[in-house]
């Protein structure tokens, strides 16, 4: 670790990026990474960063050795000093989340974005990539034990000489991995493609909002009943989407039991987050609409008292729960492809399809030979 390159030489850092989330981060890294490198590694170096977005056909068993085989053909020979492959694939060593794997001999590193978590993930990614580049270019050999954003340095196992792996230990690591994967799934976009579910939600809510019986029922409900109705309706829509569209993963040949549990956890959190976001939006929409179209005199006559802001809020709360149940029936009319795309994200669906296609081609070639 003592063969340092001349300080005046320009550094050419080739960053090969895959998947949607990594592509977005690539735009920031291309502009901001040189400044980060000057701040965290060396200020007297002309750092040059280029980025490429390429499709990666791989599963969760991808390691830095495989990444090196994938990245090396994409880099111009002799015109780079470090290659960093960013991926949104979750990486684990046993049950411990892996954030970074570095192969100094190949001058290539593999960074798993989900292990960095969801909180300030872009900032964390910039700092981790800058430190990794410092390690690969041997400008900052002392960074190896102090990659605080990436976790703890783990000694390489048998058959892994020369590799450096960073894990995120304990509960923090598991929470970071799950929240990072949920962020990659973009739960706030979940219902953008579920037009029938949205139609069911708003149709049911609209009916309840102008129905006298609903006004009477809501006026007699206490906070405990309202909370219970909310929980039941949210769980009903979440469970209906997962079960009806077969989003629950079971272990199979290429998916271990531990990864199937991880995927199911992420799916539940993603769907629940999306449903909860819809519920909150629906509540405030109904509250505003009820204040606009229901006059205090008409509303008060039905509920037998002067209508207050509290009464309008309770009505919107109760009708929102009714709307979630209607959305459950509406989501059952969606085709499985649409719901799966909303739950898992486009990048996973394309990756799995490519893996299936490649497996089919290999089997056909083997049968012919």
pLDDT above 60: residue 148: no
Inter-CA distances, 189 with 119, 183, 185, 194, 338, Å: 18, 11, 9, 10, 12
Q: Work out the average pLDDT over 48-55.
A: 73
Q: How far apart are CA 321 and CA 221, in angstroms?
A: 13
Structural tokens at position 23: 């592509």
Specify the pairing of strand 164-167 against strand 82-87: unpaired
Task: Write the DSSP assignment of 304-328 as a string of letters.
Answer: TS---HHHHHHHHHHHHHHHHHHHH
pLDDT at 226: 92
pLDDT above 60: residue 77: yes
Q: Is 106 helix (H, G, I), strand (E, B) or coil?
A: coil
Lowest average pLDDT, out of 14-23, 228-237, 280-289, goes to 14-23
Q: What is the pLDDT of residues 310-320, one digit of tens each?
A: 999 999 999 99
pLDDT above 90: residue 231: yes
pLDDT above 90: residue 201: no
| Torsion angle defined by CA atoms of residues 96, 97, 103 and 104, in that order, rounded to the nearest 10 degrees | -90
Q: What is the pLDDT of residues 286-305, one digit of tens each?
A: 999 999 988 888 888 888 88
Q: What is the pLDDT of residues 114-128, one digit of tens each?
A: 888 878 778 888 888
Query: How much of the chain exceeds pLDDT 70, in percent?
Result: 70
- Please list, in sequence order, all residues whose beta carbon lies within 8 angstroms of the beta carbon of residue 108, skipping any fewer than 6 positions away: 64, 67, 68, 71, 72, 82, 83, 84, 85, 102, 136
Q: How far apart are CA 351 and CA 341, in angstroms?
A: 12
pLDDT above 90: residue 66: no
Q: How far apart are CA 269 and CA 366, in angstroms?
A: 41
pLDDT at 284: 93
Report the candidate in 119, 117, 87 with the shortest Cα–Cα distance to residue 101: 87
Degrees, nearest 5: CA angle 55-249-114: 50
pLDDT at 55: 65
Q: How far apart are CA 251 and CA 261, in angstroms?
A: 9
Q: How far apart are CA 341 and CA 190, in angstroms?
A: 9
114 contacts 88 by C-beta, under 8 angstroms:
yes
pLDDT above 90: residue 306: no
Report the candidate in 362, 332, 336 with the shortest Cα–Cα distance to residue 349: 336
Lowest average pLDDT, out of 6-15, 46-55, 275-284, 312-321, goes to 6-15
Report the candidate in 84, 92, 132 with the shortest Cα–Cα distance to residue 108: 84
Q: How confident is the model at residue 309 (pLDDT cuts 50, 70, 90)?
A: very high
pLDDT above 60: residue 21: no
Q: How confident is the model at residue 194 (pLDDT cuts 50, 70, 90)?
A: low
Q: How far apart are CA 297 and CA 288, in angstroms?
A: 17
Residue, of 43 and 223, whose pLDDT is higher: 223
pLDDT at 6: 47
pLDDT at 258: 75
Q: Work out the average pLDDT over 58-64.
A: 66
pLDDT above 80: residue 276: yes
Query: How much of the chain exceeds pLDDT 90, in percent?
Result: 7
Q: Work out the average pLDDT over 75-98.
A: 76
Q: What is the pLDDT of residues 258-272, one digit of tens each?
A: 777 888 888 888 888
Mean pLDDT of the chain: 75
Inter-CA distances, 252 with 123, 290, 301, 340, 369, Å: 36, 50, 61, 19, 27
Specify the pairing of strand 152-154 against strand 11-17: unpaired
pLDDT above 80: residue 219: yes
pLDDT at 341: 59
pLDDT at 57: 63
pLDDT at 101: 83
Residue, of 100 and 192, whose pLDDT is higher: 100
Q: How far apart are CA 285 and CA 201, in angstroms?
A: 12
Number of H helices, E strands in the chain: 12, 8
Residue, of 146 and 277, whose pLDDT is higher: 277
pLDDT above 70: residue 211: yes
Q: How far apart are CA 91 and CA 301, in angstroms?
A: 61
Structural tokens at position 135: 């390690």
pLDDT at 135: 79
pLDDT at 79: 66
């Amino acid at each position: 670790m003592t063969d340092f390159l001349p300080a005046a030489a320009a550094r050419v850092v080739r960053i090969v990026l895959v998947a949607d989330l990594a592509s977005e981060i690539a735009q920031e890294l291309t502009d901001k990474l040189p400044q980060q490198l000057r701040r965290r590694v060396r200020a007297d170096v002309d750092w040059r960063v280029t980025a490429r977005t390429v499709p990666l056909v791989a599963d969760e068993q991808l390691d830095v050795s495989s990444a090196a085989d994938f990245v090396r053909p994409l880099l111009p020979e002799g015109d780079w000093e470090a290659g960093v492959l960013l991926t949104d694939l979750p990486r684990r060593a046993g049950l411990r989340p892996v954030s970074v794997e570095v192969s100094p001999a190949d001058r290539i590193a593999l960074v798993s974005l989900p292990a960095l978590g969801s909180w300030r993930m872009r900032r964390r990614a910039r700092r981790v990539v800058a430190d990794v580049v410092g390690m690969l270019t041997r400008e900052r050999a002392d960074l190896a034990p102090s990659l605080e954003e990436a976790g703890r340095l783990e000694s390489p196992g048998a058959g892994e000489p020369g590799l450096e792996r960073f894990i995120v230990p304990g509960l923090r690591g598991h929470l970071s991995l799950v929240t990072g994967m949920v962020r990659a799934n973009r739960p706030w976009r979940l219902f953008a493609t579920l037009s029938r579910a949205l139609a069911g939600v708003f149709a049911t809510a609209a009916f309840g909002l102008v129905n006298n019986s609903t006004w009477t029922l809501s006026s007699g409900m206490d906070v405990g009943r309202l909370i219970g109705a909310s929980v039941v309706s949210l769980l009903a829509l979440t469970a209906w989407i997962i079960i009806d569209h077969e989003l629950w993963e079971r272990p199979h040949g290429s998916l271990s039991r531990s990864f199937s549990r991880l995927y199911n956890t992420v799916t539940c959190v993603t769907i629940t987050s999306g449903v909860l976001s819809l519920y909150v939006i629906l509540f405030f929409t109904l509250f505003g609409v009820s204040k606009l179209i229901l006059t205090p005199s008409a509303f008060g006559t039905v509920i037998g008292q002067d209508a207050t802001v509290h009464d309008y809020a309770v009505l919107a709360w109760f009708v929102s729960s009714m709307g979630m149940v209607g959305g459950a029936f509406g989501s059952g009319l969606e085709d499985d492809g649409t719901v799966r795309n909303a739950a898992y994200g486009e990048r996973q669906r394309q990756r799995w399809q490519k893996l299936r296609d490649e497996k089919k081609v290999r089997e056909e070639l083997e049968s012919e030979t």
